[in-house]
C-alpha cells in the first residue's frame, strides 16, 4: 500500500499513514488528466461576451442619405457593419464552454492526481482536522508547520466543517475542500495537499 507522513493537530510528525492503492497508488495517465482538467477549467468560464448583429441594432429603418449626388458610398441602413454604431460581423455571443466528461474519467483523473502528489511527497495526512469554533491563529500555526514555504496548500476534510473554513478563510494561499467535492484541478492547483484521516476513508468510499 502507498503511504504518507502522518501529522498531529500540533503540526508534529507522528508516523506514517497507509493509503489505499486504489486511490493513492494509481499509475500516471497524463493524457486523461489533461483532458479532465481542461474540461474543468472550461466549465469555470462564464461565456457572457455578447455583441449585436445587424438585425439586433436599433434604428436603420431608412437610408441615411440619398442614393446619388453626395459623393459618398451608397448605404441603405445605419445598421450595416461598416457604419458607425452598426452591427458586428462574426462577434462573440453568449455560449457555454462546458464539455461532457464521463464520471469514471473524472474519478480516474482525481486518483492520478492524488497518486502523483503521494509519489512526489507533497501529500500528508492529518490525524484530525476540526475546531469547535473558528481559530485563525491556530490554523495559521498549523499551516506553517505543514507548509513551511508558504505555498498554496489544500486541506481536505471528510465533511463540511464551518469552523475550519472560517479559520482558513483569511489565510493567503490556503484552501479547504471536502472529499465529496474534490476534483483533479483542486489537487493540481495546490503545491501541498493535507488530507484529514477520516477524509482518506471518504475518498476511498467515493473513488475505490
Contact 117, 182 (CB under 8 A): no
Q: Are residues 114 and 171 in the same domain?
A: yes
Q: Are residues 107 and 176 in the same domain?
A: yes
Q: How does pLDDT run across 165-206, given as a tens digit for each residue?
A: 999 999 999 999 999 999 999 999 999 999 999 999 999 999
Strand partners, 195: 125, 156
39 and 61 co-located in one domain: no
Are 1 and 16 within 8 A, CB to CB?
no
Per-residue cell: 184: 483533479
Query: Distance (Å, rounded) from C-alpha 165 to C-alpha 182?
Result: 15
Contact of 181 with 205, CB cutoff 8 Å: no
Domain end, chosen from 96, 131, 161, is at 96
Residue 163 has pLDDT above 80, yes or no: yes
- Asked if residue 185 and residue 105 are part of one domain, the reply reads yes
Residues 64, 156 share a domain: no
CATH code, domain carrying 164? 3.40.1370.10
**Whether residue 24 is found in the same domain as residue 86:** no
Structural domain that includes position 80: 46-96
Query: Based on the structure, what is the number of domains in the chain?
Result: 2
**Residue-averaged pLDDT of the chain:** 93
Q: Which residues pair with 5 in a beta bridge?
A: 16
* Domain identity same for 146 and 130: yes
Task: Give the end of a domain, one of 68, 96, 124.
Answer: 96
Check residue 148 and give its pLDDT. Answer: 79
Quick one: 72 and 87 in the same domain? yes
What pLDDT is attached to residue 114? Answer: 96
> Residue 118 has what pLDDT?
95
Residue 81: pLDDT over 90: yes
Question: Which pLDDT band, with edges at 50, 70 and 90, does 86 fall under?
Answer: very high
Amino acid at each position: 500500500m502507498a503511504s504518507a507522513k502522518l501529522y498531529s493537530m500540533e503540526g508534529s510528525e507522528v508516523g506514517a499513514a497507509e493509503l489505499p492503492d486504489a486511490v493513492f497508488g494509481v499509475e500516471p495517465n497524463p493524457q486523461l488528466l489533461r483532458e479532465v482538467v481542461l474540461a474543468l477549467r472550461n466549465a469555470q468560464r462564464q461565456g457572457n461576451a455578447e455583441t449585436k448583429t445587424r438585425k439586433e441594432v436599433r434604428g436603420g429603418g431608412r437610408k441615411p442619405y440619398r442614393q446619388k449626388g453626395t459623393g459618398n458610398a451608397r448605404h441603405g441602413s445605419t445598421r450595416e457593419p461598416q457604419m458607425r454604431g452598426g452591427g458586428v460581423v462574426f462577434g462573440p455571443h453568449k455560449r457555454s464552454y462546458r464539455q461532457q466528461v464521463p464520471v469514471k474519467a473524472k474519478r480516474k483523473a482525481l486518483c492520478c492526481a492524488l497518486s502523483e502528489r503521494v509519489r512526489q511527497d507533497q501529500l500528508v495526512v492529518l490525524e484530525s482536522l476540526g475546531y469547535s469554533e473558528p481559530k485563525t491563529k491556530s490554523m495559521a500555526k498549523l499551516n506553517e508547520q505543514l507548509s513551511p514555504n508558504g505555498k498554496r496548500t489544500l486541506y481536505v476534510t471528510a465533511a463540511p466543517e464551518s469552523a475550519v473554513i472560517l479559520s482558513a478563510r483569511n489565510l493567503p494561499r490556503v484552501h479547504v475542500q471536502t472529499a465529496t467535492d474534490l476534483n483533479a484541478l483542486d489537487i493540481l492547483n495546490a503545491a501541498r495537499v493535507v488530507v484529514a484521516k477520516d477524509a482518506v476513508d471518504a475518498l476511498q468510499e467515493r473513488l475505490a
